[in-house]
């Protein structure tokens, strides 16, 4: 199921003139955080590391102007934003739901600047009241150091950044999966506490677990315990 879609239309990398436009868009903003906003964040996060550092100051200014609905002087980041799409390439980005998972499908045409610009200009198509929230998601994405995966989705949505906690999942079912408990066993608070201590010991580097990823695993266990004991 396609939850959100953004088509960025842009010139080829070797073209003498650099242009960018927006194509078809389906960017739901409700319920929060909004699948459309999550998609814009994924597009930005997927391409920001390829952005020339010399262009970042202009990007920050552009985001500020778009968020406030100001007139945008062109070109920006060496690309001219336009409505005409004739003769340009299309990059299609989607957020797809598969069961309880939300999967970003980000098309890469070796054109990172148009994709980041497309995400920013797409914010400008949203109602003014929504733009601050949308742009904050994009800003959060631009600071993301990792891959475009479940952890990014969790980060953008403001939920615990664990790969096992997809947006839209039932929290209790997720917690039962983390603890490998069935619903009947989870009714016993002492059993939940005991299982937490066992898994925490297994996850802690002091007991032989790998240091990499330990903090995330421990935070995941703590969140699962909170859910089951609430």
CATH of the domain at 200: 1.10.287
**Would 21 be classed as within a structural domain?**
yes
**Res 211: pLDDT:** 64
Domain enclosing residue 153, as ranges: 2-157
**CA dihedral sign, ordered 95, 136, 20, 108:** negative
Q: Do β-strands 2-10 and 19-26 pair in parallel, antiparallel, or remain unpaired?
A: antiparallel
Residue 25 pLDDT class (50, 70, 90 cuts): very high
Q: Does pLDDT of 159 surpass 50?
A: yes
**Would 165 be classed as within a structural domain?**
no
Q: Does pLDDT of 166 surpass 70?
A: no
pTM, 2 dp: 0.71
Among left, alpha and beta (phi > 0; psi -120 to 50; other), residue 4 is beta
Number of domains in the chain: 2
Q: Does pLDDT of 109 surpass 60?
A: yes
Residues 99 and 146 in one domain: yes
**Would 163 be classed as within a structural domain?**
no
Residues 57 and 148 in one domain: yes
**Res 164: pLDDT:** 45
Query: What average pLDDT score do residues 47-52 get?
Result: 90
Residues 38 and 72 in one domain: yes
């Amino acid at each position: 199921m396609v939850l959100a879609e953004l088509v960025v239309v842009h010139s080829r990398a070797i073209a003498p003139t650099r242009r960018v436009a927006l194509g078809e868009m389906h960017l739901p903003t409700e319920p929060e955080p909004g699948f459309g906003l999550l998609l814009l964040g994924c597009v930005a996060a997927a391409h920001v590391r390829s952005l020339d550092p010399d262009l970042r100051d202009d990007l920050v200014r552009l985001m500020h102007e778009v968020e406030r609905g100001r007139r945008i002087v062109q070109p920006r980041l060496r690309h001219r934003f336009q409505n005409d799409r004739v003769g340009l390439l299309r990059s299609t980005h989607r957020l797809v739901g598969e069961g309880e998972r939300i999967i970003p499908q980000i098309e890469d045409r070796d054109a990172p600047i148009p994709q980041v610009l497309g995400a920013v200009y797409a914010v400008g198509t949203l109602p003014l009241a929504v733009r601050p929230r949308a742009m904050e998601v994009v800003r959060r994405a631009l600071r993301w150091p990792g891959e475009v995966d479940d952890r990014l989705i969790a980060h953008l949505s403001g939920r615990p950044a664990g790969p096992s906690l997809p947006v839209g999942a039932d929290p209790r079912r997720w917690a039962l999966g983390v603890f490998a408990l069935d619903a009947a066993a989870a009714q016993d608070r002492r059993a939940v506490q005991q299982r937490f201590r066992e898994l925490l010991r297994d996850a802690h580097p002091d007991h032989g677990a790998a240091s990499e990823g330990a903090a995330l695993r421990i935070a995941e266990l703590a969140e699962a315990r909170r859910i089951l004991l609430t």
